[in-house]
A = this chain, B = another copy of it.
Amino acid sequence: MSNQKLFNVAVVGITGAVGQQIIRLLSERNFPIDRLKLLASKRSAGTKIAFKGKEITVEEATPESFDGIDIAFFSAGGDISKLLVPHAVASGAVCIDNTSAYRMDPETPLVVPEVNIEKINENKGIIANPNCSTIQLVATLKPLYDRYGISRIIVSTYQAVSGAGARAIDELLSQSRDVLDEKQVQPEILPVSSLPVKHQIAFNAIPQIDKFLDNGFTNEEMKMILETKKIMGDETLQVTATCVRIPVVYGHSESVYVELKEDFDIDEVKSLLANAPGIVLQDNPNEQLYPLASEAAGKLETFVGRVRRDLSNPKALNMWIVSDNLLKGAAWNAVQIAEYIALEQ
């Protein structure tokens, strides 16, 4: 990347898990940065954060924070994005928004680089980063969509608590210890911190992520359904999702049933997956090899295995998809988008 244009980059929400991963990836990937601005709430302003051997002082994120900024990452919640993204856009920045604020906005491209990177050119200042569970699903299914067409997806998720933030991680770990010590458990965060009823997550499975809608689905499930159609650019795609929180810290797993539009050869399917960008095929039943959250944690790729022909529908197959929800599911997908922006300029 020598002689390359350098960018003024802002990261909003640097105290959150995703913000921290974005900073780490910008450093590790050697992103061509001229000036890096780290933005957070007033409470965190003044904190110093190390970046490539230098200390950067965190500043309060305000509408005026974006003067001269080329690329701004947002992962401080939907409300902050709705408040500040318009100002960043007005200042001339391209905003990569990790919240759900603009994902379904028809003017805003919703991008997973392995699926629809060309959409970044249609941006009007905002590129939305999809929901974590959606990203690993569409990244894996894209080569099958292109080769055979997909008519229907039925997915059940096994989601890590880190998707609900640092306090949810703390809750799982301390609650697990309490259960092991046979102490009374007092849930305080999960399933949804802003809702009144809390449930134990340690040694349990909670079939609720985000709030319920009138149709009986949760917001998280509707995100998977609607975002998958938007990213694939196919409103005829039938998608059903059940989203479940399980006692895992990092790494979302997904049990996926897929109906293709054409007959397929299962070896060709595996070969397409093995050769797809960003996808690692881990599939050898004889060696008990399949993706595991414990092994996907900390990695950038999406892992797929248990790929097998359905026994009752000859055009269907089943698989198990795992990825680190904070990396490909959030920070890495956002930094990938930034890398493509940088390459094009």
Question: Which residues of A are in contact with B by a Cβ distance under 8 Å?
Answer: 152, 154, 156, 158, 172-173, 176-177, 180, 191-192, 195-197, 199-200, 203-208, 212, 215-217, 225, 238-240, 242, 244, 246-249, 253, 255, 257, 285-294, 305-313, 316, 318, 320
Contact = CB atoms under 8 A, between A and B. Distances in A.
Given A212-B286, A240-B257, A240-B312, A292 B217 contact: no
A52 to B, nearest CB: 28
A42 to B, nearest CB: 33
Contacts of A216: 285, 306-309
A306 B207 contact: yes
Nearest to A243: B255
Interface SS of chain A: mixed
Contacts of A195: 288
B247 A247 contact: yes
Given A152-B312, A204-B292, A212-B285, 16 more contacts: A156-B156, A156-B242, A158-B205, A172-B203, A173-B180, A176-B176, A195-B288, A203-B293, A203-B294, A207-B290, A216-B306, A216-B307, A238-B313, A240-B310, A242-B318, A244-B253
Nearest to A254: B156
A88 to B, nearest CB: 35
16 contacts: A152-B312, A154-B257, A158-B246, A176-B176, A176-B180, A177-B180, A191-B288, A195-B288, A205-B246, A205-B292, A208-B290, A215-B309, A216-B308, A240-B316, A240-B318, A242-B257
Nearest to A214: B285
A239 B306 CA distance: 17
**Closest A-B pairs by Cβ, 8 of them:** A216-B308, A238-B312, A212-B285, A156-B156, A156-B255, A197-B288, A242-B255, A204-B294
Contacts of A152: 312
Nearest to A266: B216
A324 to B, nearest CB: 13
Contacts of A310: 240
A200 B294 contact: yes
A314 B317 CA distance: 22
Contacts of A316: 240
Nearest to A173: B180
A305 B152 CA distance: 24
A247 B217 CA distance: 25
B207 A253 contact: yes
A320 B207 contact: yes
B290 A320 contact: no
Contact of A293 (B204, B253, B287, B291): B204
